[in-house]
C-alpha cells in the first residue's frame, strides 16, 4: 500500500518502527500516524461499533471524527489518525476502558500567558501569527504533528492570485509560512485545545497527549482558525471501512505516502473531488468514476478536462446508492437522479472498487468558538453554523476572533487574508500599529478582489449574512 514512486513527492520515511496491532507485530516508520501505518500494513478495519458490532475504519484523517478511536498503550479513545507512531506501541481494537491496574500518569502542567493565542495552524492561523507576532507575544496551537492545515496535502499548483501564493503548490506555501510563523510565535504542535473558559480573563485548556502535557493558556485575545470538517453523505453501508473523506485520502496519500486502495470512486465533482482524482492517478491508484449529483460539474473545467483526458468518467446527475462489502468496501452501486433528486429505477451501475472517497463539501469547525458564548448562526451558504463576525473578523465578543474556513468555507487565499485581518486588528487593539488604517484597508480591498467573479458569489453572499447578523446582534451600525 506504500507509494514508492511519485511524480512530485519524495517520501523520506523516518526510522523503521515496530508496533503491535491486536497482538500482531507490524512495521511502520517514524513520522507517520498510527492510522497511516495500519493502512500501509493492509489493515482497513480498525474497530467495531459498540451496539451492532459493525466494522469501522478511519474516515477524516484529521482528528475530527470518531471512526479511528482505539486503545493505545492502555489509553482508550485515542484518535489514531493524528497520533504519531512510536516504538513498541500497543494498539488495540474494541477496548474502551483503562486496563486494570494501569497507573494514572499525572501530566506535566505548563502555564502560558500570551497577548494573542491562535487555535489552528492552517493558512489562516499562520497568517495571523505572522501578522501579529513581531509586536506581540503570540502562541499558536495545532493538534497535528506539523503546521500547515489543509495545505500540507495539496500537491497541485494553487489557483487564486500570485499574491497569496497561486502558481505554487500548497505544500510549498505551507513550508514558507511555517518558517515565518516559527520566527514570530511560539508553536505548540500535537496539542489539542479542548476547552475555553471565561475566568474573568480568556483561558484555554490544551493537551499534548503524546508528551502528557496540560497547557493552561491565559490570553488577551484569541483567534479561532480551526478550519473545517468533511461532510458525510447518507447511503446504505456508508460506515463500511473504505468509505473515506476526500481529505482523509489526501492525508494518507500525500502526507504519508500510503495508498487508500487500488481502485476507487469519488463522490462529488467540485474542485476537491476533481483534484483528488488527479492526485490518485499520480499515486498510481485507479479512479473508476466520479459521481456528481448536480447536472453539471461544480469545479473548474480545467481540472475536469485533466481527469477526463486520463480516462476517468464523470457521471453528472448521478449519486451513490449503496456501498457493499463484507468487512470493507468491495464495490458501489451508483444510479441516475431525477429532477427531484430521487434515484431512477433501472439506471443502477455496479462499480467494483476497494474505496469510496466522499468529496461533498465541508462544514466549519466551530465547537470551540461556541464555548466562548460568541453568537453563532446557521448560514447554509457559509457551510453551516458559524460565529457572527464583522469585517475585522471580530465576533460578538470583542476579544474573540475567527478566520478562514471556520468562519465560512472558502479557499486558502481568503483564509490567509482573513488571518492577516484578524491578527492586525487584534494587535492594534492591544497597541497602536503604525500605518494601521492603510494596511487594513489594503487587506479588506484584497478580500473583495478575491471574492469577485463567479466563484466568489457564494462566499460573498454568506459573508453579507454574517456581517448583517453581527451588526444586528451587537446593535450598532457599521461605522460606529
Ligand atoms: C482538495 C483541496 C484542494 C484545495 N485547493 C485549493 C486551491 O487550489 N486554492 C486555494 O486557495 N484553496 C484550496 N483549498 C482550500 C484550502 O486548503 C482551505 O480553504 C484552507 O486550508 C483553509 O485554511 P484554514 O487555516 O482556515 O483551515 P485548515 O487549513 O483546515 O487549518 C485548520 C487547522 O486547525 C487545527 N485545529 C482544529 N481544531 C483544533 C483544536 N481544537 N486544537 C488544535 N488545533 C486545531 C487543525 O489541525 C488544522 O491544522 C483546497 C482544499 C482542498 C481540500
DSSP-derived 3-state class of residue 244: strand
Asked whether residue 477 carries a pLDDT value surpassing 60, the answer given is no
Predicted local confidence at residue 162, as pLDDT: 59
Which atom of ligand 1 is nearest the CA belonging to 164?
11
- β-strand pairing of 286-292 with 314-316: parallel
Q: Which of 45, 474, 80, 108 lies closest to 252 in space, CA to CA?
A: 80
Predicted local confidence at residue 480, as pLDDT: 42
**Overall average pLDDT of the 74-95 stretch:** 93
Predicted local confidence at residue 11, as pLDDT: 85
Query: Which of 227, 276, 369, 370 gets mutated to test ligand 1 (max ligand atoms within 8 A of its CB)?
Result: 227
Cell numbers placing 449: 478582489
Number of DSSP helices (H) and strands (E) in the chain, helices first: 10, 26
- Ligand 1 center to 202 CA (angstroms): 25
Predicted local confidence at residue 357, as pLDDT: 98
Give ligand 1 pocket residues (Cβ under 6 A): 62, 119-125, 141-144, 149-151, 154, 158-160, 192-193, 225-228, 247, 271-272, 275-276, 365, 368, 404-406, 410-413, 415
Asked whether residue 13 carries a pLDDT value surpassing 90, the answer given is no
Predicted local confidence at residue 361, as pLDDT: 93
Query: Which of 412, 417, 455 gets mutated to test ligand 1 (max ligand atoms within 8 A of its CB)?
Result: 412
Cell numbers placing 384: 453551516
In the chain, % of residues over pLDDT 90: 84
Asked whether residue 470 carries a pLDDT value surpassing 50, the answer given is yes
Which atom of ligand 1 is nearest the CA belonging to 194?
41
Q: How confident is the model at residue 210 (pLDDT cuts 50, 70, 90)?
A: confident
DSSP string, 316-354: ETEEEEEEE-SSS--EEEEEEB-TTSPBPTT--EEEE-S
Mean pLDDT over the full length of the chain: 94
- H-run or E-run covering 458: helix 457-474
Q: Which of 364, 363, 390, 403 lies closest to 466 in space, CA to CA?
A: 390
Predicted local confidence at residue 455, as pLDDT: 79
Predicted local confidence at residue 160, as pLDDT: 61
CATH 3.50.50.60 fits 108-229+363-474, yes or no: yes
- Ligand 1 center to 151 CA (angstroms): 6
**Overall average pLDDT of the 314-333 stretch:** 97
Cα–Cα distance for residue pair 43/178, rounded to 1 Å: 33
Asked whether residue 230 carries a pLDDT value surpassing 50, the answer given is yes
Predicted local confidence at residue 159, as pLDDT: 64
Asked whether residue 70 carries a pLDDT value surpassing 80, the answer given is yes
Cα–Cα distance for residue pair 238/110, rounded to 1 Å: 42
Which atom of ligand 1 is nearest the CA belonging to 367?
41
Q: Among the residues of 82-169, which ranges form H helices?
A: 123-132
**In sequence order, what are the residues at sequence separation of 6 or more whose Cβ sits closer than 8 angstroms to the Cβ of residue 74?**
90, 98, 99, 102
Asked whether residue 50 carries a pLDDT value surpassing 50, the answer given is yes
**Overall average pLDDT of the 86-115 stretch:** 91
**401-421 pLDDT per residue, tens:** 999 999 999 999 999 999 999
Write down the residue that cell numbers 471501512 correspond to. 241
Q: Which of 304, 299, 338, 343 lies closest to 320 in space, CA to CA?
A: 343
**Overall average pLDDT of the 313-330 stretch:** 97
Asked whether residue 59 carries a pLDDT value surpassing 80, the answer given is yes
- Ligand 1 center to 167 CA (angstroms): 18
Cα–Cα distance for residue pair 92/69, rounded to 1 Å: 10
Predicted local confidence at residue 479, as pLDDT: 47
- Ligand 1 center to 99 CA (angstroms): 36
User: Phi/psi at 224 (nearest 5 deg)?
Assistant: -95, 115
Cell numbers placing 335: 444510479
**Overall average pLDDT of the 315-330 stretch:** 97
Q: How confident is the model at residue 456 (pLDDT cuts 50, 70, 90)?
A: confident
The radius of gyration of the chain's CA atoms, rounded to the nearest angstrom, is 22
Q: Which fold has domain 243-362?
A: FAD/NAD(P)-binding domain (3.50.50)
- Ligand 1 center to 120 CA (angstroms): 9
For ligand 1, atom 35: residue with the closest CA: 120
Cell numbers placing 362: 465541508
Q: Which of 133, 220, 232 lies closest to 184 in space, CA to CA?
A: 133
Predicted local confidence at residue 225, as pLDDT: 98
- Domain 16-92 has what CATH class? alpha beta
Asked whether residue 312 carries a pLDDT value surpassing 70, the answer given is yes
Which atom of ligand 1 is nearest the CA belonging to 404?
26
Which atom of ligand 1 is nearest the CA belonging to 414?
11
**Overall average pLDDT of the 444-453 stretch:** 92
Q: How many CB atoms lie within 10 A of CB 316?
A: 16
Cα–Cα distance for residue pair 218/195, rounded to 1 Å: 12
Please, is 22 exposed, middle or buried when counting C-beta atoms within 10 Å of its C-beta (0-12, 13-18, 19+)? middle
CATH fold match for the domains 16-92 and 108-229+363-474: no
**132-143 pLDDT per residue, tens:** 999 999 999 999
Cβ(196)–Cβ(176) under 8 Å? no
- Ligand 1 center to 227 CA (angstroms): 5
**233-278 pLDDT per residue, tens:** 999 999 999 999 999 999 999 999 999 999 999 999 999 999 999 9
- Ligand 1 center to 406 CA (angstroms): 9
**Overall average pLDDT of the 208-227 stretch:** 95
Q: How confident is the model at residue 161 (pLDDT cuts 50, 70, 90)?
A: low
Asked whether residue 396 carries a pLDDT value surpassing 80, the answer given is yes
- Ligand 1 center to 206 CA (angstroms): 20
Predicted local confidence at residue 424, as pLDDT: 98
Domain ranges of the chain: 16-92, 108-229+363-474, 243-362
Amino acid at each position: 500500500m506504500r507509494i514508492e514512486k511519485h511524480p512530485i513527492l519524495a517520501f523520506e520515511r523516518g526510522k523503521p518502527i515496530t508496533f503491535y496491532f491486536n497482538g500482531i507485530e507490524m512495521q511502520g516508520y517514524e513520522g507517520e500516524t498510527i492510522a497511516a501505518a495500519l493502512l500501509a500494513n493492509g489493515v482497513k478495519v480498525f474497530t467495531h461499533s459498540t451496539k451492532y458490532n459493525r466494522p469501522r475504519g478511519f474516515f477524516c484523517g484529521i482528528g475530527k471524527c470518531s471512526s479511528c478511536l482505539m486503545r493505545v498503550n492502555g489509553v482508550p479513545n485515542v484518535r489514531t489518525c493524528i497520533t504519531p507512531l512510536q516504538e513498541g506501541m500497543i494498539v488495540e481494537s474494541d477496548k474502551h476502558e483503562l486496563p486494570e491496574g494501569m497507573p494514572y500518569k499525572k501530566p506535566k502542567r505548563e502555564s502560558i500567558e500570551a497577548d494573542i493565542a491562535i487555535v489552528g495552524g492552517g493558512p489562516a492561523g499562520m497568517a495571523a501569527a505572522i501578522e501579529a507576532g513581531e509586536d506581540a507575544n503570540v502562541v499558536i496551537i495545532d493538534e497535528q504533528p506539523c503546521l500547515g492545515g489543509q495545505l500540507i496535502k495539496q500537491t497541485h499548483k494553487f489557483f487564486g492570485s500570485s499574491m497569496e501564493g497561486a502558481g505554487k503548490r500548497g505544500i510549498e506555501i505551507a513550508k514558507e509560512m511555517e518558517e515565518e510563523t516559527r520566527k514570530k510565535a511560539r508553536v505548540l504542535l500535537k496539542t489539542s485545545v479542548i476547552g475555553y473558559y471565561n475566568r474573568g480573563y480568556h483561558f484555554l485548556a490544551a493537551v499534548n497527549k503524546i508528551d502528557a502535557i496540560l497547557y493552561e493558556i491565559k490570553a488577551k485575545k484569541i483567534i479561532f482558525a480551526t478550519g473545517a470538517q468533511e461532510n458525510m453523505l447518507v447511503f446504505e453501508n456508508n460506515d463500511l471501512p473504505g468509505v473515506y473523506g476526500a481529505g482523509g485520502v489526501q492525508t494518507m496519500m500525500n502526507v504519508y505516502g500510503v495508498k487508500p486502495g487500488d481502485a476507487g470512486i469519488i463522490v462529488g465533482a467540485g474542485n476537491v473531488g476533481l483534484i483528488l482524482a488527479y492526485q490518485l492517478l499520480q499515486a498510481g491508484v485507479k479512479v473508476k468514476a466520479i459521481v456528481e449529483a448536480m447536472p453539471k460539474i461544480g469545479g473548474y473545467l480545467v481540472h475536469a478536462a485533466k481527469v477526463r483526458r486520463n480516462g476517468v468518467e464523470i457521471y453528472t446527475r448521478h449519486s451513490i446508492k449503496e456501498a457493499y462489502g463484507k468487512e470493507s468496501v468491495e464495490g458501489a452501486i451508483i444510479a441516475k437522479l431525477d429532477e427531484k433528486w430521487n434515484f431512477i429505477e433501472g439506471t443502477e451501475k455496479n462499480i467494483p472498487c476497494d474505496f469510496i472517497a466522499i468529496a461533498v463539501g465541508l462544514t466549519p469547525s466551530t465547537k470551540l468558538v461556541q464555548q466562548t458564548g460568541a453568537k453563532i448562526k446557521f448560514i447554509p451558504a457559509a457551510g453551516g453554523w458559524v460565529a457572527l463576525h464583522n469585517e475585522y473578523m471580530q465576533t460578538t465578543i470583542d476579544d474573540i476572533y475567527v478566520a478562514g474556513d471556520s468562519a465560512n468555507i472558502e479557499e486558502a487565499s481568503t483564509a490567509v487574508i482573513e488571518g492577516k485581518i484578524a491578527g492586525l486588528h487584534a494587535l492594534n487593539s492591544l497597541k497602536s500599529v503604525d500605518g494601521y488604517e492603510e494596511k487594513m484597508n489594503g487587506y479588506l480591498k484584497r478580500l473583495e478582489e478575491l471574492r469577485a467573479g463567479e466563484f466568489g458569489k457564494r462566499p460573498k453572499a454568506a459573508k453579507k449574512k454574517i456581517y448583517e447578523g453581527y451588526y444586528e446582534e451587537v446593535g450598532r451600525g457599521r461605522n460606529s
